[in-house]
């Protein structure tokens, strides 16, 4: 099998080759129609856009992304052309939870109520770790509520009114685009902390620029060309690395590789059950990553691609 692999995916070099496959490693901007046309499979990250302009006329039949999201892949095109697409659900969820709770421990240590909007792989771990530390938690997840009932879920507006920390963990689609907007922000206490470690375009950048709340932002509209005013305004500003834990990258690589080559199995590290806020705070300092981006905003991609993966709390 001929496989193209994005060069920044860690822990993957040499594995497919040792199983007898032809492998070539490319930078994201090297995934061109010319380079892709004779490949059987692609293993990518979010910077590689897989759509008709890239894939038309190619031999590609499988695409695996070593990420949770698939926003960068035209799923309709792939489906209609017999291309299987695989992602890595939950791979970086503990790393994102570590990011969120380490920020809360620093910026809002007296938090009374955390609102989690989007309670999938990431939101569920944030919920579990928060509750295990005695924090009050409100949940908003309309798709889950439609299936499970409304008993344990509230609306995003209720979270806005009641919570002093609000963290977002939703996919980007028509229902979530600019869900952080002026109208919603008007319901939130000016003293609240809002964390976006989800998708950049769930937030209206202009609304955030005008918002009185404290902001922690890992995902940005238009990244890597991010709004410099919002960068200065955010208390914590990081280059889309919330889930960049060592263990998370190991899980993502193992899941993506196994999707393309089912005969290959890689062991994955376990997820901590209930680390304390002290353990989480000591395991990661987001302030350092924020300072690095604020000093070098033009280096967004370099800071992301050359990130020194942190260890999750044990």
Q: Hey, where are the domains in the chain?
A: 2-86, 93-241+278-305
Give whole-number Cα distances, 244 to 106, 311, 312, in Å. Answer: 19, 9, 9
Q: What per-residue confidence (pLDDT) applies to 198?
A: 95
**Tens-place pLDDT, residues 261-273:** 999 988 888 888 9
Mean pLDDT of all residues belonging to the chain: 96
> CATH fold of 93-241+278-305, please?
Rossmann fold (3.40.50)
Q: What per-residue confidence (pLDDT) applies to 42?
A: 98
For residue 224, is the peptide bond before it cis, meaning its omega torsion is within 30 degrees of 0?
Answer: yes
DSSP structure class, residue 309: P
Q: What per-residue confidence (pLDDT) applies to 266?
A: 85
Provide mean pLDDT across the span 61-77: 94
Q: Give SS3 for 5.
A: strand
Kindly tell me if the per-residue pLDDT of 47 is higher than 90.
no
Kindly tell me if the per-residue pLDDT of 260 is higher than 90.
yes
Q: What per-residue confidence (pLDDT) applies to 178?
A: 98
Provide mean pLDDT across the span 68-76: 92
Kindly tell me if the per-residue pLDDT of 30 is higher than 90.
yes
Kindly tell me if the per-residue pLDDT of 251 is higher than 90.
yes
Residues 6 or more apart whose Cβ sits within 8 Å of residue 46: 65, 67, 69, 71, 72
Evaluate whether 2-86 and 93-241+278-305 have a shared fold. Answer: yes
Provide mean pLDDT across the span 109-134: 96
Instruction: Give the span between the Cα atoms of 99 and 17, in whole angstroms.
Output: 34
Kindly tell me if the per-residue pLDDT of 114 is higher than 90.
yes
Instruction: Give the span between the Cα atoms of 4 and 36, in whole angstroms.
Output: 8
27: left (phi over 0), alpha (psi -120 to 50) or beta: beta
Q: How confident is the model at residue 186 (pLDDT cuts 50, 70, 90)?
A: very high
Name the percent of the chain lying above pLDDT 70.
100
CATH entry 3.40.1390.10 includes domain 2-86: no
* Catalytic (active-site) positions: 199, 223, 240
């Amino acid at each position: 099998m001929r496989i193209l692999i994005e060069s920044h995916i860690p822990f993957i070099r040499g594995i497919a080759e040792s199983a007898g496959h032809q492998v070539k490693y490319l930078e994201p901007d090297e995934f061109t129609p010319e380079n892709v046309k004779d490949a059987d499979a692609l293993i990518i990250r979010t910077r590689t856009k897989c759509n008709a302009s890239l894939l038309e006329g190619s031999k590609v039949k499988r695409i695996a992304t070593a990420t949770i999201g698939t926003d960068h892949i035209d799923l309709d095109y792939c489906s209609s052309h017999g291309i299987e697409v695989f992602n890595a659900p939950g791979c970086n969820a503990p790393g994102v939870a570590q990011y969120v709770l380490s920020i809360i421990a620093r910026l809002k240590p007296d938090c009374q109520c955390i609102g989690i909007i989007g309670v999938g792989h990431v939101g569920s771990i944030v919920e579990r770790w928060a509750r295990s530390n005695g924090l009050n938690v409100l949940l908003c997840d309309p798709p889950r509520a439609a299936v499970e009932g409304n008993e344990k879920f509230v609306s995003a507006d209720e979270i806005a009114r009641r919570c002093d920390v609000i963290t977002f963990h939703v996919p980007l689609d028509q229902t979530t685009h600019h869900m952080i907007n002026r109208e919603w922000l008007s319901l939130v206490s000016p003293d609240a902390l809002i964390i976006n470690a989800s998708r950049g375009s769930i937030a209206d950048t202009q609304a955030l620029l005008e918002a009185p709340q404290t902001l922690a932002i890992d995902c940005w509209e238009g990244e890597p060309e991010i709004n410099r005013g919002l960068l200065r305004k955010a208390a914590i500003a990081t280059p889309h690395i919330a889930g960049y834990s060592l263990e998370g990258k190991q899980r993502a690589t193992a899941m993506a590789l196994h999707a393309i080559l089912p005969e290959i199995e890689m062991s994955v590290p376990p997820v901590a059950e209930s680390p304390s806020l002290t353990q989480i705070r000591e395991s990661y300092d987001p302030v350092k990553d924020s300072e690095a981006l604020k000093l070098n905003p033009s280096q967004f991609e370099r800071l992301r691609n050359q990130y020194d993966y942190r260890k999750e709390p044990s």
